[in-house]
Amino acid sequence: MKTIASWLSVTFLGLVLGGCSAVGAGSGGAGETEIRSGKIEQITLTQMQTNHDSGVGAILGGIGGLALGSLVGQGTGRDVAMVAGALAGGVGGNYIEKKKYDQPVDAQQIVVRTHSGVLVQVTQPINPALAKGMNVYVEGTGNEARVVPQS
């Protein structure tokens, strides 16, 4: 029975750690970044959701639950308590991490008209150096796009 509990613990830990891997993280090497230039047409204050789903809360909660479960009983009951404690701790740790760190942050939605006439909208953390009518660069694409002032 200890072998089954050991395999369940190893499997659970593997699943939790596998959930921490980045999906679509790219090649990791130096790459090209698209830079467009234009003029800010509109700035609107808004909020954006952060993304702090690192999985650390689930891992620490799972380890804590596993440790507490190992203190309960002996034999098969202890093995079941360890697995249940690890699962409950993982869920609880993930919940606490999201509640504490996934709070919306103030942001600005910026509309830039590029020199080619295309409108580009970017939502990013507030940059007080930006103002309507300012010449700017739009660096990057997708979720990684940022508006920065031209020097």
- What is the secondary structure of the chain as a DSSP string? -HHHHHHHHHHHHHHHHHTTSPTT----S-----EEEEEEEEEEEEEE------SHHHHHHHHHHHHHHTTS-STHHHHHHHHHHHHHHHHHHHHHHHHHH---EEEEEEEEEETTS-EEEEEEE--TT--TT-EEEEESSGGG-EEEE--
pTM of structure: 0.51
**What average pLDDT does the chain have?**
81
Per-residue pLDDT at 34 exceeds 80: no
Domains of the chain by start residue, with CATH: 1-26+52-103 (no CATH), 32-49+104-151 (2.40.50.590)
The predicted-structure confidence for 42-59, as pLDDT tens digits, reads as follows 999 988 877 666 788 888
The predicted-structure confidence for 97-127, as pLDDT tens digits, reads as follows 887 777 778 899 999 999 888 999 999 988 9
